Amino acid sequence: MLNDVAFGQYYPAKSFVHNMDPRAKIVLVIAFIVAIFLAKNFLGLAAVILFLILVVILARVPFGRVLRSVKMVLFLIIFTAILNLFFYSSNSELHILWQWKFITISWEAIINMLFLALRLFLLVMGTTILTLTTTPVSLTDGIESLLTPLKWIRFPVHELALIMSIALRFIPILTDETNRIIAAQKARGADFETGGLIKRAKAMIPVLVPLLVSAFRRAEDLGDAMDARCYSGAKGRTKYKKLTFTWRDLLGLLLLAGLITGVVFLNIYFGGKFDVIGWFVA
């Protein structure tokens, strides 16, 4: 049921992206998200898609593996897009296709729905590539290094990075645990695939209870293991591997800077998403 979850799972490979510094990859993902929200038309999103395809090729990760990441949030994307479809106000009454009381469907609403869905789709895929090409340990080191200036105000940087790393590591573990619980419940006659939404939600209650018990048990075991190894936080800890920037990181930053520049240029030259549609029609 949850075998296709890709977020939080590391895909081992020898590639350009895998060998990049984790700090650079985190910065690139943040800049990639900025580029997505800077795009004001479909041409800007097209440039983001081309950049994403290039990154997937350089990472040597199967496209299907990256697309699976959207499966878990597909309902959220569709639900958000539908809300925008029914409650987006049109600037012109001539563009209204259907109206009933306070609900209005217009040509602009359809375009905005597609634009928002595509933006969320790219957002999920971009963040998934980070977890597919970076181990949890490297990700923790990168986050801790980037947040080092916050140590001057006594912010628990190491502890925050450790919590995020453990959370990412527990995603595939809890996914496998959920699959085992569902298989056991099906063997006892449970039905998760028929009935309406409320019936399916009630059928998941026998899954959630043992899943929560298992999660708390694993958290307790992890805490005992850390205590047995005398873990005391960041105080007195040293690094086995030193993070260093290379030419790959510089090239990645330059490519993403070019993407952001191109997106801004497309916004200025072609205008908003509605202007682009009119430009294509013309």
Convert the pLDDT of each residue in 36-61 to its tens digit.
999 888 888 899 999 999 999 999 88
For residues 133 and 127, give the distance between their C-alpha atoms in angstroms, rounded to a whole number.
10
Domain segments of the chain: what residues? 22-167+242-281
150 — phi, psi (to 5°)?
-70, -15
Which residue did the predictor score with more confidence, 153 or 75?
153
The pLDDT tens digits of the residues spanning 106-160 come to 667 777 788 888 888 888 888 888 888 988 778 888 888 888 888 888 888 878 8
Q: Which is it for the CA torsion 242, 247, 248, 254, positive or negative?
A: positive
The pLDDT tens digits of the residues spanning 211-244 come to 888 888 888 888 888 888 877 776 666 667 778 8
- Nearest CA-CA partner of 87 in 103, 100, 101: 103
- Residue 253 tokens read as 């930053």
* Three-class DSSP category at 188: coil
- When pLDDT is cut at 50, 70 and 90, the band that residue 96 belongs to is low
The pLDDT tens digits of the residues spanning 160-214 come to 888 877 887 787 788 888 888 888 888 877 777 777 667 777 777 888 888 888 8
* Three-class DSSP category at 103: strand
- Residue 255 tokens read as 């490519």
